[in-house]
Structure 1
Amino acid sequence: MLIDDSEYVQLIGTCQIKSIQFPKILVQTENGKSLVLNTTKQQQTDSVFWDAIIDIIAADLWIPYNKDTYFLLQQDWITDTSFA
């Protein structure tokens, strides 16, 4: 199920990564607001995660984040009933 089709759509924001200030990720929302996203301990030590973040920056992709916790969504734009 896509996030847009779920009950969680109000909890999800869209952003573009602008820079990294390890361990934080600086982003800009669709509304032009600058935010700082958190990373988990696992993400902080995961070189594949950081390589993917660098690729996302280079491609100017829009990615989802949780508006309540300021973390990136692990499941990207797809969700299921265990999302929360």
Structure 2
Amino acid sequence: MLIDDVENLEMIGSGQIKSIEFPNIILQTEANQLVKIKTTKQQQADVIFWEAIMNIKEAEIWLPFQKEVNYLLDFDWLANPQYT
């Protein structure tokens, strides 16, 4: 199931990476708001994660994030069972 099909869609935002301020990622939302995304300790230590983030920034791909806590979604654009 895709995120668009989830009832709790208002809990999820999306944005494009505008800058990387280790250990945070700054996203710009569709409403042109800047959101500081926090990273976990595991993400902070993961070289491949940061390489992927740089590639996503360069490609201007939109990323989903959980609005309440400002973390990237682990399950990307697919619906997490907790929201279904």
Gap regions ≥5 residues in structure 2: none
Residue in structure 1 matched with residue 12 of structure 2 by the alignment: 12
Gap regions ≥5 residues in structure 1: none
Paired residues for 1:1-80 under 5 Å: 1-80=1-80
TM-score of the aligned structures, taking structure 1 as reference length: 0.93
Q: CA deviation at 1:83?
A: 5.0
Q: Which runs of 4+ in 1 moved over 3 A?
A: none
Letter in 1 for 2:69: T
TM-score of the aligned structures, taking structure 2 as reference length: 0.93
Q: CA deviation at 1:27?
A: 1.0
> Percent identity among equivalent residues?
46
Q: CA deviation at 1:35?
A: 1.2
Letter in 1 for 2:54: I
